[in-house]
């Protein structure tokens, strides 16, 4: 359910426009996340959202998009496992071996929870080999 912004209660036309922009932003977020990429303010600005719209609607749009993608169980897009595994390996190699820090880093690099669950054990093993100086194993 979308919550109406208090400033739009007295102006139904503004309410409709506000909800339309929120819905448009939610759809844009779902489309970008469905491509397996992270979303930044710059990405939304490239889709003709203003900084004011992003500031006003961004948090609600992200929550609504996440809810729709998770709760409604939309099909998850496939991802290039090899590419993401190598990217995770590079990110892990640059960090101290603290699991929570590693997970936070992967999340900040637009890895989904599903990708982290799938890739983390193998990426940690590969990065451990790299850190130990042993011959790197081939990522499958």
Q: How far is CA 7 from CA 24, 52, 83, 102, in A?
A: 20, 15, 46, 42
Q: Report pLDDT digits (tens) over 57-103.
A: 777 887 887 777 766 655 666 778 888 888 888 777 776 556 777 78
Is 11 in the same domain as 57? yes
Is 57 in the same domain as 104? no
Residue at 139 is within a domain:
no
Residue at which a domain ends, from 50, 71, 92: 71
* Tally of domains in the chain: 2
Is the separation of the CB atoms in 91 and 124 below 8 Å? no
Mean pLDDT, residues 119-128 taken together: 85
pTM of the model: 0.36
The one-character DSSP state at 75 is P
What does the alpha-carbon distance between residue 125 and residue 128 come to, in Å, rounded to a whole number? 5
Domain limits at 94?
81-132
């Amino acid at each position: 359910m979308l919550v109406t912004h208090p400033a739009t209660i007295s102006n139904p036309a503004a309410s409709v426009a506000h909800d339309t922009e929120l819905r448009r932003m939610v759809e844009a977020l779902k489309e970008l996340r469905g491509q397996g990429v992270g979303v930044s303010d710059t990405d939304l600005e490239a889709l003709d959202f203003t900084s004011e719209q992003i500031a006003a609607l961004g948090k609600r749009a992200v929550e609504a998009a996440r809810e729709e993608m998770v709760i409604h169980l939309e099909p998850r897009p496939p991802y290039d496992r090899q590419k993401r595994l190598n990217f995770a390996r590079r990110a892990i190699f640059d960090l101290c071996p603290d699991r929570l820090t590693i997970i936070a880093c992967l999340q900040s690099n637009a890895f989904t929870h599903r990708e982290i669950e799938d890739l983390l054990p193998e990426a940690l093993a590969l990065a451990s080999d790299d850190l130990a100086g042993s011959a790197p194993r081939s990522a499958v």
